């Protein structure tokens, strides 16, 4: 199917992308063969741990407390 080439850019402000997302995509592609789940598994803390914010620049893996939820 040829003919019309409708490739004028979409409005730029409607979906602001970020260099941070580009970095994530590059790592998923170059180190995890494009597999998002594998990348995500690689950054999860151990099963009985969750990440907690320690300071504005730092997170630590801490043991889950019974009844608490972790991301």
**What is the binding site for another protein (CB under 8 A)?**
1-4, 6-10, 13-18, 20-30, 33-46, 49, 51, 53, 56-63, 69-71
Measured from the CB atom, is 37 or 66 closer to another protein? Answer: 37
Secondary structure of residue 46 in the 3-state scheme? coil
Q: In angstroms, give the least distance from the CB of 33 to another protein.
A: 7
Q: State the residue for tokens 């969750």.
A: 50
* Other CB atoms within 10 A of residue 50 CB: 19
Q: Which is nearer to another protein, 15 or 66 (CB)?
A: 15
Shortest distance, CB of residue 8 to another protein, whole angstroms?
A: 5
Q: Which helix (H) or strand (E) holds 58?
A: strand 58-63
Q: Are 60 and 49 in contact (CB under 8 A)?
A: no
Provide the minimum distance between the beta carbon of 50 and another protein in the complex, in angstroms, as a whole number. Answer: 10
């Amino acid at each position: 199917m040829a003919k019309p080439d409708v490739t004028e850019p979409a409005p730029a402000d409607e979906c602001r992308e970020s260099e941070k997302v580009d970095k994530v995509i590059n790592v998923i592609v170059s180190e995890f063969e494009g597999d998002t789940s594998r990348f995500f598994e690689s950054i999860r803390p151990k099963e009985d741990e969750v990440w907690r914010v320690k300071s504005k620049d730092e997170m630590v893996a801490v043991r889950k407390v019974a009844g608490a939820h972790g991301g």
